[in-house]
Structure 1
């Protein structure tokens, strides 16, 4: 009998294909507003992050458009691309990358705290100084942020870990889905709020405390994911929570 190769599809890809099929079948006609992401997540039994990635994939394929302050609307009934959410077309999902970073960089921070030297701490301080300067100039690059995280990997004295962390950061820059998500976040609010997280990681490393360094890194990357969800959703409804403003001011005034 004929057989087909079994394919393991990413979860957001399955959501993308289900929604694309509903659009093509007329369940969501042209110009209609899609249900809220929270409602879709509940109906589909998946996380909001998965739905957000599926929506970005739909947008990249031209099937939907985001109208800030209004929602997500059906723009076409057939995709502009081949009609899939394959990795070769749209790259890795932003929350996939964050999950990988959380798994690896938390362990790296733990290891680094046991190996770190004063020269490494000076390098991390310099990276944070660059981040603060980038904030003052509008965050046109992520050089300071990348240098900080790669610098922690260097402190392990393990070249394989350095290359792994560098590769994870490079994935971001090659991922169309990550770029599309970042179009809708207000970097001036998101990144300054997270500067304080980096200082907490550095303080744990200064104390040579592996558990504290690991936990501070974990809290940081969890916060990144939560902020990306909350602030990008806030962009859809045209609002920004006061707590984000407060976190940003506290980080800048450190």
Structure 2
């Protein structure tokens, strides 16, 4: 039976506020670095409570579209507010902890094995990935391509085909967690530094240090605004 006549979902008030803020930014020609009106002004102009404004702001912040400077206002981080549907945010929030648990279990062991088994050519691949990521970050990008290259190089250096297959099977979810992390303010440079520590341990042949550095890195990926957001507030 077709579900075309399923009940129509009601938009939460803050979702409507998000849509209005996006419309305002477009009409006003705002871009990256431009400031939005203060919460109080937005509440007055939209005729809603400041609580609704705050929740809408959190949704934009979670998606990496807005930089909230406490006591200093709200600034666009992108040239357009291409807002992801809240239903998709909620679903990603649900599955992200499981993805991070799987990453920690797999990637800490891969880093340990890479330290024990890497070849000179594989060390070069790791270094090339770091150089690529560094160039991306220096140019103001997230470093996502270099990040992916780095983890792929570590996986190859571990010489465990079965674990490599496990990594390939969750590649899409890993990419999602990577994107979620790297769009946090200041995270690309921090992630690059963590990757360098992992690489140093692998180069030194120190499996325990490599595993610990990778564990620290993966756990930092969990420090994202999305996981502190409650869509029902």
Q: TM-score, normalised by structure 2?
A: 0.55
| Counterparts in 2 of 1:103 and 1:191: CA distance versus 1, 3 Å | same
1:99 to 90, 98, 101: 101
Give how far 1:167 is off.
3.7
Match of 2:198 in 1: 201
Gaps of 5+ in 1: 1-19, 21-29, 38-54, 61-65, 72-80, 234-254
Aligned residues: 168
Contact 1:149 1:165 in 2 (8 A): no
Distance 2:102 2:159 in 1: 21
Contact 1:116 1:155 in 2 (8 A): yes
Gaps of 5+ in 2: 1-11, 13-47, 75-84
Distance 2:124 2:88 in 1: 46
Give how far 1:136 is off.
1.6
1:213 to 210, 214, 217: 210
| Counterparts in 2 of 1:219 and 1:32: CA distance versus 1, 3 Å | same
2:51 is the alignment partner of 1:33:
yes
| Counterparts in 2 of 1:136 and 1:85: CA distance versus 1, 3 Å | closer
Distance 2:149 2:159 in 1: 16
Distance 2:134 2:89 in 1: 37
Match of 1:246 in 2: none
Distance 2:152 2:140 in 1: 22
Distance 2:206 2:147 in 1: 21
CA RMSD across the alignment: 4.3
Local SS of the residue matching 1:93: helix
Give how far 1:212 is off.
0.9
Contact 1:109 1:153 in 2 (8 A): yes
Distance 1:152 1:178 in 2: 16
Distance 2:120 2:167 in 1: 21
2:225 is the alignment partner of 1:222:
no
Distance 1:158 1:181 in 2: 27
Match of 2:135 in 1: 133
| Counterparts in 2 of 1:147 and 1:203: CA distance versus 1, 3 Å | same
| Counterparts in 2 of 1:67 and 1:109: CA distance versus 1, 3 Å | closer
Local SS of the residue matching 2:201: helix
Match of 1:154 in 2: 156
Give how far 1:204 is off.
0.8
